[in-house]
Amino acid sequence: MGDNGRGDVAPATPEDAAKAELYKEEANEYFKNQVYDKAIELYTKAIELNPSVAIYFGNRSIAYLRTEYFGYALTDASTAIMLDKNYVKGYYRRAAAYMSLGKFKLALMDYKTVVKARPNDKDANDRCMECSKMIKVSAFNKAISVEDKKNIADMINLEDMAIEGEYTGPKLVDGKVTLEFMKDLLEWYKNQNKLHRKYAYKILLDVKSWFMAQPSLVDITIPEENKFTICGDIHGQYYDLLNIFKLNGLPSETNPYLFNGDFVDRGSFSVECIFTLFGFKLLYPNHFFMSRGNHESATMNQMYGFDGEVKAKYSVQMAELFTEVYNWLPLAHCLNRRVLVMHGGLFSRDDVTLQEIREIDRNRQPPDEGLMCELLWSDPQPQMGRAPSKRGVGVQFGPDVTQNFLSINSLDYIVRSHEVKNDGYEVGHDGKCITVFSAPNYCDTMGNRGAFITLNGSDMKPYFTSYDAMPHPNVRPMAYANSLLKFMC
C-alpha cells in the first residue's frame, strides 16, 4: 500500500513531486473510466513519490470504496485527514467507509465535521440528517427486538390475503411450488411483473422451515457420474441469472446447483432473484442449495438496496421476514467430504474443524469477529500467513493457511465467492483455493465476465464456464440503495 503518509517522512524532491502529480492525473483518468485497479496502482505510485499530499490518499480512498476495500479506504481517508485537517473530502470518504461497514455513529461524527466546515453545504447537511435518522431507526429497532421476541413468520396470515381476479401470474398448486410454476415465474419476472404477495409470503414461510431444519454446514453427496454446479454472487442481476440457466440448464434432480451467497443487493432485480432461488429450493430441496453471504444481513440490505426494493415492491413486514429467513441460511457446504464451499473464506486461527463449523449458532445477524464472520467476509491473499482484511471485516489468508486447513480436515480444495474477478473465477493457492463470481459487468460498471463451476462426482475436478453480461431493463443498479451510498456504483 506504499507509505502511510505520516508526517515524519522526508519532503519529496521537486522532480518526485512533479512525477507524482503526473501519476495522479493519469490515475484520475482511469478512475473516470471506472478502471479502479489501475487507478489504485497509479495513486499508489504518486504516494510513494510524495507521501505528504492528502489528496492522493483521498483519491485512492474513493477508488478503494468503489472496489469494496472498505478497510483500506478507511485507512487512506484517515491518513488524508491527518495530513490535512481541512481536507473536507477526507471526512466524506471516511464517512462513506464507515457507512459501508455499518458503523453509522462514526460516520455521523465525520459528517458533522463537514457540516461545521461548510454550514451552507446542502449535500453535507442532507447526509448528516440521513445518517442521524439511520442511527435513530437502528436504535428503535434494537429496542423493539429486545422487548418483542415474536417471529414475523408467526404474524403472517395467508388466509386473509385474497387473490384478485385480475392477477394472471404464476399460481402455486395446493400451496406447492411446481416445475410449471417455476417456468411461469421465470417468464413473468422476465417481463417485469410481480408475483402475488400471497404466493411470495408462502414461499418465504416454507423456505424458512426448510432452512431451520438444516445444520450450519450441509453435507452433499454427488454420485459418481453426476454433474454438480456452483455459482457465486448474483447480486440482484436477474437477467444474468436467467442466462446461467440458459447456458447450464434449469435446476433439476439430475442438474443440481449450489448458489454461494450474495443473491441480493446492488442489482435492482434482487426480489426476482431471491424468489427464483427460493422457489427452486422448495421444488428440489435435496438438489438445490444456498449458502449465506455477507449481503444476507440486515445492515447490508439497508445500505445496498434489497431492503428498499422489498419495501417498494411489497412491504416493511416482508423485509423483516426476509431478515428472519436469511438468519437460517446454512453457512457452508461440504461436497463428497472433499470440497468445502463457503462465501468468504478461512479463519484467523489454525485449528478450525468441519465439526466446529457444523455447530455454529447461525440464527442471528453476522457478528464482527469469529468463525461465522470469517466464513462470510474473509479473502485469500497470495502472501503466506494472515493480514488484516482489506474490507475492514474478516481476515486475509495465505496459501499456507489454506493448506493447513485442508490437511486438518482431509479436504482437496475450497471454493469461495465474494470477490469480482475479470473472468468470473480465479484459481489460487496452488489450485487449492478457487473463487467464483457469477455477476458479469458487476454494478453495470466493472466490465468483468461472470462464471460458474461444474464438477463431476467421480473426480471432483472443477471446470469453468465464463459468460458476458446480458441486457436488462433500464433500472440502474443501486436504484433502491440508501441515498448515502448511491455514489458507490
Tens-binned pLDDT, residue by residue, of the chain (489 aa): 444 444 456 789 999 999 999 999 999 999 999 889 999 999 999 999 999 999 999 999 999 998 889 999 999 999 999 999 999 999 999 999 998 888 889 999 999 999 999 999 898 898 899 889 888 877 776 666 655 567 899 999 999 999 999 999 999 999 999 999 999 999 999 999 999 999 999 999 999 999 999 999 999 999 999 999 999 999 999 999 999 999 999 999 999 999 999 999 999 999 999 999 999 999 999 999 999 999 999 989 988 999 999 999 999 999 999 999 999 999 999 999 999 999 999 999 999 999 999 999 999 999 999 999 999 999 999 999 999 999 999 999 999 999 999 999 999 999 999 999 999 999 999 999 999 999 999 999 899 999 999 999 999 999 999 999 999 999 999 999 887 765 444
Angle in degrees, 0-180, between the axes of helices 70-83 and 54-66, rounded to the nearest 10: 160
Q: What is the CATH number of the domain that holds 482?
A: 3.60.21.10
Tell me how crowded residue 55 is: count the other CB atoms within 10 A of its CB: 16
Pair 241, 121 in one domain: no
Domain-terminating residue out of 120, 144, 168: 144
Distance between CA atoms of residues 327 and 325, nearest Å: 5
Distance between CA atoms of residues 379 and 396, nearest Å: 5
Pair 280, 399 in one domain: yes
The radius of gyration of the chain's CA atoms, rounded to the nearest angstrom, is 23
| Domains identified in the chain, total number | 2
Instruction: Write the CB contacts of 365 (distance below 8 Å, at least 6 apart in sequence).
Output: 297, 298, 299, 323, 327
Of residues 295, 343, 418, 472, which has the active-site annotation? Answer: 295
Where in the sequence is the domain holding 124, given as residue range(s)? 14-144
Distances (CA, A) of 248 to 83, 308, 435: 53, 31, 19
The residue behind cell 426480489 is 271
Q: What is the CATH number of the domain that holds 36?
A: 1.25.40.10
Tell me how crowded residue 255 is: count the other CB atoms within 10 A of its CB: 18
Pair 260, 133 in one domain: no
Domain-terminating residue out of 75, 110, 144: 144
Distance between CA atoms of residues 392 and 381, nearest Å: 15
Beta-bridged to residue 258, according to DSSP, are 230, 289
The residue behind cell 429497532 is 141
Is 418 annotated as catalytic? no
Pair 273, 293 in one domain: yes
Pair 132, 170 in one domain: no
Which helix (H) or strand (E) covers residue 100, if one does?
A: helix 88-100
Tell me how crowded residue 177 is: count the other CB atoms within 10 A of its CB: 24
Tell me how crowded residue 166 is: count the other CB atoms within 10 A of its CB: 5
Coil/strand/helix, residue 166 = coil
The pTM assigned to this predicted structure is 0.93
Coil/strand/helix, residue 89 = helix
Domain assignment present for 5: no
Domain assignment present for 149: no
> DSSP characters for 325-384?
HHTTS-SEEEETTTEEEESS---SSS---HHHHHT---SSPPPSSSHHHHHHH-EE-SSS
